[in-house]
Amino acid sequence: MGSAWMLPAIIAIPLLSAAVVGLFRNSWSKTTISWVASGSVGISFAMVLALFYNFTQTHEAITAPLTTWGPMLNFGLLADALSLWWMLVVTGCGFLIHVYSTGYMRDDESFGRFMAKMNFFIFAMSLLVLSDNFAGLVMGWANVGLASYLLIGFYIKKPAAMSAAIKAFVMNSLGEVGLVAGVAYIYKTFGTLSYHEVFKAIGEGKGLAALNLIGILLLIGAIAKSAQLPLHTWLPYAMEGPTPVSALIHAATMVTAGVYLVSRAYPIYHNAETAAMFVAWIGALGALFGAVVAAGQNDIKRVLAFSTLSQIGYMFLGNGLGAYTAADFHFLTHAFFKAALFLCAGIVVHHYNGDQDIRKMGGLWKEDKFAVWTFGIGALALIGIFPFAGFFSKDEILAAALNSQQYALFAIAMLAAGMTAFYNVRLFSLVFLGTPHMAHAKDLKKAHRPVAVAAAHGHDAQGHDAHGHDAHGHAHATPAAMTWSVGILAVLSVVGGLIAYPGWQVGFLKSSFELLGELEHEGINWAVAGSAMGLALIFGGISYYLYGPNGVRRDAERNLAAKPGILVNMFYFDAIYDALIVNPVLAVGDFCANIGDAKLIDGAVDGLGKLSAGIGSGLRALNSGYVRKYALTVFAGVAIMLVYFIFMQV
């Protein structure tokens, strides 16, 4: 128990670094900023590793009480199996992506601001995960939302990024209403916010009647944060942020906070069948929806965004079915391969001067072998091909659906697995295979270098993801910081799933799920996994037939003049929300501004002004300066008083 001091340190170091880097962002050199910002996350990661190793030896949760807030709450930090599992990804992936950013964002003029915000995100996410009570979770939750807002809107001169940031913040605030209401209801029911005490009370059978409502309220928060149906619309627009942000926040960690919430609050969902079924169905529908929409998107990062939506759907499905360890396992593998895919997408986009439209790509195979390999590994892991990481974790979720006899959910999840292969093969074919598109053929020939900062001749003042504007135009390879971090993530995407062979993850995580009884790893369900992989191969084959180098639909797909269909428009969710909610609210706002404020309130204020001005100008006529008039006034007043006293007084 001597290592409890590490818990506050894990949180405090990135926060301190964020403050210091933010303060000295203009005076320190970029190298110093890189070392401090990445180093602080690295230190946190090292401490998490130490705690993690410690935990595998002792299997004892560590708590660090910090402060007491009146009678309501003892605020502290908790490192048990679940939070360590998550912290491993938050700080581990976070560290790799920080390192990647030091290469990727180095030529941005606001490099220091970027790194400070990234550090702040690590702090907020660590607080969310390590808190030992619901209040701390809500604080972390709100702060990751803030970090997400700041980082989506990092390119402050780009209007699309600003509106995307606002959109993300508003959607998440909607969810936070649900989350806070749920937490308040927990306090009302149990009289405490501490995980330990709430779950102990549930274990003793108290407050079971309220759990369905609590579960659904918490789920609203989880849906918004994890971009699940129907509050998912902010995620594709969040891709306006720099690519490392998409990788860290909108793929690996923050959007999975909803999964963490459900896993952490498992006693609630375990005893609330309706709420759990909600979780499962939202997840399954999200998995299919994301996979289908991803197949129709033309922006490389949006394809990956919808893929994230789809994969988090799988995690929700696992959580809803009570397969919490499967969901957390999928979270881990997903963090590896999706971060690898996003970071690799960053490299790809560089080849096209920051243009993210996959219709204009193609033939990158010849130009950049490293990107092909890492992207390919990420895609295979995402599809769930043996023996890549996604194969094992997705299998567990599918098997859980089958074992709990939820055949409808199982069918949807299988179909989604097929569609996953479909959109991945499409994406890979359009980007890497075949011939370059007319629009960029010239660019690629010019930039014939290992991995180049192609942005050298494509100056984009709006600050797309184009990183280097190399003034001299000489080629230089992708910085080692970028290749190393992508490489490590790719390796993890290959081997990360193998821990499922001995079922190691279940053995590790089970101490966090005591109320479920003694969890046993059920082994790999080869029938389910095999048929899912077979389905994936069929769908992938169809996709290759359609979009491969000689695919029948390839040219039609790459036609830039094609009218955007229902998939490109993401099933018109945005249009529907605009029509149903946004426009009426804007109309109310316009009414309040133009009629209510301009006419009513301003009218009342101006009217009062005009009234007193009128009275004043009327009275001014009396102030003539003619003494005789004043005298007359006095006489008139006296006369009136006389009349009053003589005739009115009795």
Partner 1 sequence: MPAASTELYVALAAILFTLGGIGVLVRRSPLSILMSVEIMWNAANLLFITFARQWGNMDGHVMAFLVITVAAAEVAIGLAIIVLLFRKKEHVDVDDVTELKN
- Would you tell me which residues interact with partner 1 (CB under 8 A)? 623-628, 630-632, 635
- Least distance from partner 1 to the Cβ atom of residue 163, Å: 59
The least CB distance from residue 631 to partner 1, in Å, is 5
Give the pair of three-digit tokens for residue 289: 């929806």
Q: How far is the CB of 650 from partner 1 (least distance, A)?
A: 21
Residue 609: Cβ within 10 Å count: 10
CA-CA-CA-CA torsion sign (225, 230, 234, 239): positive
Element housing 374 (H / E) = helix 369-383
Q: Residue 32 or 624: which CB sits closer to partner 1?
A: 624
Cα separation values, 419 from 338, 416, 542, 543, Å? 17, 5, 10, 9
What's the distance, CA 52 to chain centroid? 25
Q: Smallest gap, in angstroms, from Cβ of residue 611 to partner 1?
A: 24
CB 417 within 8 A of CB 535: yes
Six token digits for residue 650: 């009795």
CB of 615 to partner 1, least distance (A): 18
Strand partners, 69: 73
Interhelix angle 300-320/257-264, rounded to 10 degrees, is 10
CB of 625 to partner 1, least distance (A): 3
Q: Which long-range contacts (CB under 8 A, 24 or more apart) does 180-183 make?
A: 180/138, 180/221, 181/217, 182/214, 182/215, 182/216, 182/217, 182/218, 182/220, 182/221, 183/134, 183/135, 183/137, 183/138, 183/218
Distance of alpha carbon 86 from alpha carbon 126, whole angstroms: 9
Distance of closest approach, residue 623 Cβ to partner 1, in angstroms: 6
Q: Give SS3 for 240.
A: coil
Classify 66 as helix, strand or coil: strand
Among 303, 310, 289, which Cα is nearest to 359's?
A: 303
| Least CB distance to partner 1 at residue 646 (A) | 12
73 — phi, psi (to 5°)? -155, 135
Q: Which is nearer to partner 1, 579 or 632 (CB)?
A: 632
- Alpha helices (H) in 523-601, listed in sequence order: 526-547, 554-557, 573-577, 583-590
Nearer to partner 1, 31 or 624 (CB): 624
CB of 632 to partner 1, least distance (A): 6
Q: Which residue, 71 or 626, is less far from partner 1 as judged by CB? A: 626
Cβ at position 597, least distance to partner 1 in Å: 40
Which of 62, 195, 200 is closest to 133 using CA atoms? 195
What is the DSSP track for 168-183?
Answer: HHHHHHHHHHHHHHHH
Q: Residue 267, preceding bond cis, omega within 30 degrees?
A: no
Which of 586/634 has CB closer to partner 1?
Answer: 634
Is 245 in contact with 152 (CB distance < 8 Å)?
yes
Which residue number, 29 or 633, has a Cβ lying nearer to partner 1?
Answer: 633
Q: How far is the CB of 634 from partner 1 (least distance, A)?
A: 9
Q: Which two tokens stand for residue 398?
A: 């599918």
Give 635 or 644: the residue with its C-beta nearer to partner 1: 635
Taking Cα atoms as reference points, which of 88, 493, 500 lies closest to residue 325?
500
Least separation in angstroms between residue 630's CB and partner 1 is: 7
- Residue number, 69 or 635, with CB nearest to partner 1: 635
Selection from 280, 279, 133 nearest residue 220 by Cα: 279
Indicate the SS3 state at residue 10. helix
What b/e string do you get for 519-545 counting C-beta neighbours within 10 Å, with b at 16 or more? bebeebbeebbeebbebbeebbeebbe
Complex with partner 1: residue 615 or 632, whichever CB lies closer: 632
Closest CA to 421 of 388, 390, 380, 377: 380
Indicate the residue among 626 and 645 with the shorter CB distance to partner 1. 626
Distance CA 269, CA 639 (A): 88
In 3D space, the residue among 409, 387, 388 whose CA is nearest the CA of residue 398 turns out to be 409
Q: Least distance (Å) from partner 1 to the CB of residue 638?
A: 9
| 373 and 379 Cβ atoms separated by less than 8 Å | no
Cβ distance to partner 1 smaller for residue 67 or 623: 623
For residue 624, the minimal CB distance to partner 1 (Å) is: 6
